[in-house]
Amino acid sequence: ILNVEQSPQSLHVQEGDSTNFTCSFPSSNFYALHWYRWETAKSPEALFVMTLNGDEKKKGRISATLNTKEGYSYLYIKGSQPEDSATYLCASISGGYQKVTFGTGTKLQVIP
């Protein structure tokens, strides 16, 4: 993997469903992986900063895992709500902030 790739590009789920997205990133020279939520007409909001292989972080119904050896991170949302509708971005930091690369995001729409 040379770039940061996110899948799927977009997702429609029913309210109450659980869902997950993937972020793949270059594993060489890894420093940190950031997850953001970006709602329309707002600024990107930091969700998690992950640095250690095997890291798991949780904030309410949202959690994330990190595998630095194979270069991927999963973001999980349990019991999706309409207010979770947003674009979820991941960003790979390598070389001690010498290189910051964002993925193109996963656009989530939660249908009431």
Partner 1 sequence: DAGVTQSPTHLIKTRGQHVTLRCSPISGHKSVSWYQQVLGQGPQFIFQYYEKEERGRGNFPDRFSARQFPNYSSELNVNALLLGDSALYLCASSYNRAGSDEQYFGPGTRLTVT
Q: Which residues bind partner 1 (CB under 8 A)?
A: 4, 31-32, 34, 36, 42-46, 49, 51, 89, 91, 93, 96-105
Nearer to partner 1, 14 or 51 (CB): 51
Nearer to partner 1, 17 or 63 (CB): 63
Min separation Cβ 35 and partner 1, Å: 11
What does the H/E/C string look like for 18-79?
Answer: CEEEEEECCCCCEEEEEEEEECCCCCCEEEEEECCCCCEEEECCEEEEEECCCCEEEEEECC
Nearer to partner 1, 26 or 44 (CB): 44
